Structure 1
């Protein structure tokens, strides 16, 4: 088992009014900071709203010391989306100098709307289908952006480029299976997973061009109008973006769905056009295995050992037979 200490996330820091004012004054010299409010959401970064007395609020996103490179990555990815007709954050300032606070941060214009997850319990099945269809359409437009190679996106582009999706995903599976064993996972299970993945690896060949994938689309990263029939007003948090197969994006978006989420699942698939792809269910099943393995390694890395048993059972039961029902 790895002896590495758990990764430290969501830096706990208090941003004073004076610090916030120093940040705001760099982009809006005449604006006055009224308040600084920590927002819920963001597993990795601390997200704060800077309320201004005489101008629209801004969002301050502060990155943990061990993952400061994600600041430059998010700036890079949002730059790729600048001309796409979907509402995404607009960067006002990116700072890694530690001159105001001792961590890297971005300052963004605040998007209108409220988090979809807060509205979902009161929505009808028809409304859930419609808003998830809109999410699927937006995700498809994100996926329409092509990149030069397959791979995980770093601060300035694809970090370790691969010429094909099969090469990229094979490397990812092997890397995560090795990490799984290093962090205490069962070696025999890892071998069974290798055999299962190899038997289905031809499914990875259908993605012939690297596409921009959000890879973390869920109700906590989607903003909608606060009243009436929800309309999509924003997609946020591109920290996990990758250059890969759009069906990998869908598999991650569907990952936590349960049978009662059928309207959401059906809407997302319809809006995205997922069913147009041959063998889409089997391919999503293989990507779901990748998500489970990745999540197991992540929880082990950040010290959430109580989550590993359930994920291990899912790995043991993994057959790759399609969308979670």
Structure 2
């Protein structure tokens, strides 16, 4: 599989792509930005700053995610108060090695995961309040069923109980196949058997970002401290809005109660069973994360995540959260 650093050096290969959008653009610098295993992200700086863009190159086996991102970003662009990048151009084979490429508008700011290193602890919760408000805005977009989202819902499930029981069964099977502890597997299964009826309390699916952590939130600091961008919709699903809120909370690694309170305050009113449902969804996200790290050979975080699974699997729904 071609690797990101095997793309030709320099900017010559990128300039024709930008000129599909800005015919007179002159690319002067190509800077790697935050990326992952599924895609590589570059900032293309042009002689005219107004023409500078973000260019996303997809790994071959993940090229199908391009259509998903284009679809979801265009939905979110219709939510006027939500700062998301505008899709300017996309091609299934625009990179020199034939990989899919999407060109996005460049937003101000840098990821909160980077900016937070230069901030005091009391400066972080206001960003979480804005993240909660952003999730509430995204959740205004209703969906007709529950399931994984591309430019449609794959294997749609008619209700949340059916969907979440299916998801837990799939992740538990992966956990077992990846060598997870049998007792921990059984503890999770018992928890879902005992408290899974809570899933049925969600009556309607909504669009969920499903990965709104600090790496996917752009911010500015200083005199104009604010969230300037919500990015990376590769994991979007149609689901219970609380599963989205729980993921942002669980992925706030190293944060604490001030950030959690700010997130929930920014989101707004929650249903009466939110504490119990959120705990079940945190359990799901911990299980999913353990499976992911184990599948890619990243062993370091596994013990800490297993401890989270142990704690969450043992929590009783009639115990204060």
Provide the TM-score with structure 1 as the length reference.
Answer: 0.89
Output the CA distance in 2 between the equivalents of 1:87 and 1:176. Answer: 33
Which of 101, 105, 110 aligns to 1:105? It is: 101
CA contact (8 A) 1:73 1:153 kept: yes
Give CA deviations for 1:182-219 in whole Å, capped at 9, x if unaligned.
12223343222111111111111121111111111122
Residue 48 of structure 1: aligned partner: 42
Residue 301 of structure 2: aligned partner: 307
Output the CA distance in 2 between the equivalents of 1:99 and 1:238. Answer: 21
Q: Indicate the larger mover: 307-316 or 19-28.
A: 307-316
Structure 1 alignment gaps of length 5 or more:
1-7
Residue 295 of structure 1: aligned partner: 289
Are 2:7 and 1:14 equivalent residues in the alignment? yes
Residue 215 of structure 2: aligned partner: 220
Output the CA distance in 2 between the equivalents of 1:9 and 1:174. Answer: 34
> What root-mean-square deviation, in Å, do the aligned CA atoms of Structure 1 and Structure 2 show?
2.4
Output the CA distance in 1 between the equivalents of 2:202 and 2:171. Answer: 21
Output the CA distance in 2 between the equivalents of 1:202 and 1:9. Answer: 46
Output the CA distance in 1 between the equivalents of 2:316 and 2:108. Answer: 39
Output the CA distance in 2 between the equivalents of 1:43 and 1:200. Answer: 35
Which of 48, 54, 60 aligns to 1:59? It is: 54
CA contact (8 A) 1:12 1:46 kept: no
Secondary structure at the aligned position of 2:301 is classed as: helix
Give CA deviations for 1:79-128 in whole Å, capped at 9, x if unaligned.
21121021101111111135644311211110112222333245456543
Residue 135 of structure 1: aligned partner: 131
Output the CA distance in 1 between the equivalents of 2:235 and 2:172. Answer: 20
Relative to structure 1, the CA distance from residue 77 to residue 193 in structure 2 (aligned partners, 3 Å threshold; closer, same or farther) is same
Output the CA distance in 1 between the equivalents of 2:2 and 2:307. Answer: 26
Output the CA distance in 1 between the equivalents of 2:182 and 2:264. Answer: 35
Count of residues in Structure 1 that have an aligned counterpart in Structure 2: 315
Structure 2 alignment gaps of length 5 or more:
none
Provide the TM-score with structure 2 as the length reference.
Answer: 0.90
Secondary structure at the aligned position of 2:187 is classed as: helix
Give CA deviations for 1:232-263 in whole Å, capped at 9, x if unaligned.
21110111111111111111101144675322
Q: Indicate the larger mover: 172-181 or 128-137.
A: 128-137
Residue 204 of structure 2: aligned partner: 209
